[in-house]
């Protein structure tokens, strides 16, 4: 089996336009949560979200924008940064050796909602001819291939909140098995539309706004937690076979060494600690590691009552006496829940911790839940004396669990 390394990362999130901005903001405890400024915000019970505030559309010519839903724009920008850091150009034959592995929960939600509004409110209206190709789930995947001339196999994964973690894990598997030399892997999501947000409200999983400090409304693992804040964004990783990266003198950021994927098979929305534990155990087994070898976990940590307890119990089940010694960070408190993009964004955050030796905090954890009694780094970012191996958890509706393990690269 071949070794698989990361040679580039990119991210555009509510915390900034680049991967470094994400890592720095998390370590500083900066929140991307704010009140939405849209004409329809008054129709929401909770007006809070974690939007990307950068002028995304300005990066694309007008004619190009006409074919790109917001999720595709975000995905292209994250990929651009990752490829730039990796110093990769696929305009030649290298494009044949690269695959695209991309995750999204709903694809082009903005375009789809616009088409429905126009069709149902104006019977004489005709959706734009580009509607289908803008909202289809694999639109971002196709646009990445077109923009960057990647001509190998491409796959789009949709497993709710674990989508982009699955994409990274499957890319890792393909390179490890020798099927590809390179892969662009990650995910994007842009769900801040009226219809989507009202649907999440009806499920009663969105956080209740804190009247005094709304930016602190998402409180994973806290006793007073009430849910998550919906966000948007994208993140991308360039994965590469290790000997290839060394041969071309690439800067190797980390090595992916383990991936676990399981299905709860119990409930469509209620998480199962057993299924989550099996995914973590599978990732550890593939990595050839024991419970004492993981030095940091980026938790799924949504801030829901049931979800946080389930993940806490799963970590205890897998790590036993080591569970209370591992710093566990739930970064959704700051960047929001990016649904299909969240696994990739949090993997970028975990790799940032690996690079800097600093683990980000679980923000707004002033009142710990007695049932969530692990080390969630509530005091703020923490410098660790040793940080060589990290785990990132992503668990999605439908019962899909995806776990990734990475370590500092040693030739």
Looking at the structure, tell me whether residues 270 and 398 fall in a common domain. yes
Assigned domain for 56 exists: yes
The encoded tokens of residue 54 equal 């950068």
The confidence score (pLDDT) of residue 270 equals 95
| Domain end (from 192, 219, 247) | 247
* Domain co-membership, 96 together with 13: yes
Which of 196, 226, 247 is the endpoint of a domain? Answer: 247
**What pLDDT digit, counting tens, does each position of 223-246 carry?**
999 999 999 999 999 999 999 999
For 353-367, the pLDDT digits (tens) are 999 999 999 999 999
Q: What is the DSSP letter of 340?
A: G
Residue 263 and residue 243 share a domain: no
- The three-state DSSP-derived secondary structure of 376-401 is CCCCCCEECCCCCEEEEEEEECCCEE
Q: Give catalytic residue positions.
A: 161, 300, 337
Please tell me whether residues 87 and 161 are part of one structural domain.
yes
Strands 98-103 and 182-189, sheet pairing: parallel
Q: Is 360 in contact with 349 (CB distance < 8 Å)?
A: yes
Task: Tell me: do 204 and 282 sit in the same domain.
Answer: no
Contact 297, 391 (CB under 8 A): yes
State how far the Cα of 72 lies from the Cα of 16, in Å rounded to an integer: 17
Q: Domain of 354: which CATH number?
A: 3.40.47.10
Q: Are residues 234 and 263 in the same domain?
A: no
- Note the pLDDT of residue 172: 99
30-52: average pLDDT: 95
Domain-located, residue 237: yes
Determine if the pTM surpasses 0.85. yes
Q: Is 253 part of any domain?
A: no
Distance CA 43, CA 46 (A): 9
- Regarding whether 191 and 42 lie in a shared domain, the answer is yes
Query: Using CA atoms, how far apart are residues 104 and 166, in angstroms rounded to an integer?
Result: 10
Cα(220)–Cα(301) distance, rounded to whole angstroms? Answer: 6
Please say if the pLDDT value at position 30 is more than 90: yes
Q: Is the pLDDT of residue 67 over 80?
A: yes
Number of domains in the chain: 2
Q: Report if residue 139 sits inside a domain.
A: yes
Model pLDDT, residue 189: 98
Q: Residue 344's CB: how many other CB atoms inside 10 A?
A: 36
pLDDT in tens, 133-189: 999 999 999 999 999 999 999 999 999 999 999 999 999 999 999 999 999 999 999
Distance CA 345, CA 122 (A): 38
Domain carrying residue 307: 259-407
- Identify whether residues 220 and 308 lie together within a single domain: no
Report CA-CA distances (Å) from 322 to 4, 281, 290: 27, 14, 10
The answer to whether residue 319 is domain-embedded is yes
Whether 123 has a pLDDT exceeding 80, the answer reads no
Please list the alpha-helical segments (H only) found in 288-381: 305-319, 332-335, 342-356
What share of residues in the chain are helix, strand, coil (percent, to 5)?
40, 20, 40
Same domain, residue pair 226 and 265: no
pLDDT at 125: 75
Q: What is the pLDDT of residue 376?
A: 98
Are 362 and 394 members of one domain?
yes
> Tell me: the pLDDT tens digits for 243-298?
999 999 999 999 999 999 999 999 999 999 999 999 999 999 999 999 999 999 99
Residue with the larger pLDDT of the pair 122 and 298: 298
Which stretch of DSSP H or E encloses residue 167? helix 163-176
Q: What is the pLDDT of residue 122?
A: 78
Cβ count within 10 A of residue 251: 13
Quote the pLDDT of residue 245.
Answer: 98
pLDDT of residue 213: 96
- pLDDT > 90 fraction of the chain, expressed in percent and rounded: 96
What confidence score (pLDDT) does residue 205 get?
Answer: 94
- Do 259 and 173 contact (CB within 8 A), yes or no? yes
Q: Are residues 319 and 271 in the same domain?
A: yes
What does each C-alpha distance from 397 to 199, 217, 220 come to in angstroms? 14, 22, 18
Note whether residue 126 is domain-resident: yes
Same domain, 159 and 18: yes
Per-residue confidence band for 119, with pLDDT thresholds at 50, 70 and 90: confident
Read off the pLDDT band of 118 (50, 70, 90): confident
Q: pLDDT tens digits for 333-392?
A: 999 999 999 999 999 999 999 999 999 999 999 999 999 999 999 999 999 999 999 999
* The last residue of a domain, from among 196, 218, 247: 247
The helix/strand/coil state of 298 is strand
**Does any domain span residue 254?**
no
Query: What number of helices (H) and strands (E) belong to the chain?
Result: 13, 14
The answer to whether 104 touches 340, Cβ cutoff 8 Å, is: yes
3 state DSSP class of 326 = coil
Residue 215 and residue 30 in contact, taking contact as beta carbons nearer than 8 Å: no
Phi, psi (5° rounding) for residue 86?
Answer: -75, -10
Q: Is residue 252 part of a domain?
A: no
Average pLDDT over residues 50-56: 97
- Residue 91's pLDDT band, with cuts at 50, 70 and 90, is confident
Residue-averaged pLDDT of the chain: 97
């Amino acid at each position: 089996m071949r070794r698989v390394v990361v040679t580039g990362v990119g991210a555009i999130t509510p915390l900034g336009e680049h991967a470094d901005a994400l890592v720095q903001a998390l370590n500083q405890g900066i929140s991307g949560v704010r009140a939405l400024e849209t004409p329809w915000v008054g129709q929401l019970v909770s007006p809070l979200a974690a939007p990307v505030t950068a002028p995304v559309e300005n990066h694309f010519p007008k004619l190009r924008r006409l074919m790109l839903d917001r999720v595709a724009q975000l995905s292209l920008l994250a990929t651009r940064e990752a490829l730039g850091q990796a110093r990769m150009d696929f305009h030649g034959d290298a494009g044949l050796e690269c695959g695209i592995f991309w995750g999204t929960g709903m694809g082009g939600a903005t375009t789809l909602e616009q088409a429905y509004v126009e069709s149902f409110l104006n019977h004489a209206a005709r959706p734009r001819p580009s509607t289908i190709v803008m909202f289809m789930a694999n639109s971002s995947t196709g646009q990445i291939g077109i923009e960057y001339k990647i001509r190998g196999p491409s796959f789009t994964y949709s497993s709710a909140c674990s989508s982009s973690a699955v994409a990274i894990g499957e890319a890792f598997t393909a390179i490890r098995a020798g099927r590809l030399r390179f892969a662009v892997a990650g995910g994007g999501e842009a769900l801040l539309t009226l219809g989507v947000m009202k649907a999440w409200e009806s499920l009663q999983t969105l956080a209740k706004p804190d009247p005094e400090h709304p930016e602190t409304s998402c409180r994973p693992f806290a006793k007073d937690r009430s849910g998550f804040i919906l966000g948007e964004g994208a993140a991308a990783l360039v994965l590469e076979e290790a000997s290839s990266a060394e041969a071309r003198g690439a800067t190797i950021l980390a090595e992916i060494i383990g991936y676990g994927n399981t299905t709860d098979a119990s409930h469509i929305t209620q998480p199962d600690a057993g299924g989550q534990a099996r995914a973590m155990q599978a990732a550890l087994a593939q990595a050839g590691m024991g419970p004492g070898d993981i030095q940091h976990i980026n938790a799924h940590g949504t801030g829901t009552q049931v979800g946080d307890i389930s993940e806490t119990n799963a970590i205890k089940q897998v790590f036993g006496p080591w569970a209370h010694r591992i710093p566990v960070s739930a970064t959704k408190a700051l960047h929001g829940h990016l649904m299909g993009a969240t696994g990739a964004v949090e993997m970028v955050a975990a790799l940032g911790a690996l690079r800097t030796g600093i683990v980000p905090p679980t923000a707004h954890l002033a009142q710990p839940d007695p049932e969530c009694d692990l080390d969630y780094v509530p005091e703020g970012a923490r410098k660790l004396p040793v940080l060589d191996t990290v785990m990132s958890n992503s668990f999605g509706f439908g019962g899909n669990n995806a776990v990734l393990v990475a370590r500092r690269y040693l030739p």
